[in-house]
Amino acid sequence: METPQARALRILQADKDKQALEYSSCALNVAALRFSSEQCSVLDVLLCINAAQKLAAVFDRQHRECEKLQLFMWLSKVLREELTKTHRSYLYRKCCQRKITHSQSLARQCAKEIGNIMPFFQPLPPFIYKNYAQHHL
């Protein structure tokens, strides 16, 4: 049986998760709007990626793998279509300098193909792709 304190903590955590999701979604929307403007800078690209990272972390905590994968696909499409050569070069250097992934060699390899957004996130287990394909393709 759940104690009143445990119930209160569970409700409080659910509320925090909901607020984090709303905040992260809003931050990503703002970043994406700036990113799609004509005056887009490298900073806007990084802000967009950072906002997407935070939203992906919220999805991780809530075990929402399909939403996380949709976020990957959207960001991958945006980066492939919108990044200029300057943006790509800058992001490549940042990937290598800051070791955005756990492995520096993986960061370098992925940064060379900057249209693939996996260097900016934890890798997803293969079953998620299979699960997503069954439901959405």
| pLDDT, position 18 | 80
Give percent of the chain above pLDDT 90.
0
- Residue 3 confidence class, pLDDT cut points 50, 70, 90: confident
pLDDT, tens digit, 9 for 90 and up, residues 46-73? 777 777 777 877 877 777 777 777 776 6
Q: pTM score, two decimals?
A: 0.50
For residue range 6-47, what is the model confidence (pLDDT) as tens digits?
A: 888 877 877 777 887 787 778 777 777 776 666 766 677 777
Q: Which residue is associated with the tokens 């999805």?
A: 59
SS (H, E, C) the chain: CCCHHHHHHHHHHHHHHHHHHHHHHHHHHHHHHHHCCCCCCHHHHHHHHHHHHHHHHHHHHCCCHHHHHHHHHHHHHHHHHHCCHHHHHHHHHHHHHHCCCCCHHHHHHHHHCCCCCHHHCCCCCHHHHHHHHHHHC
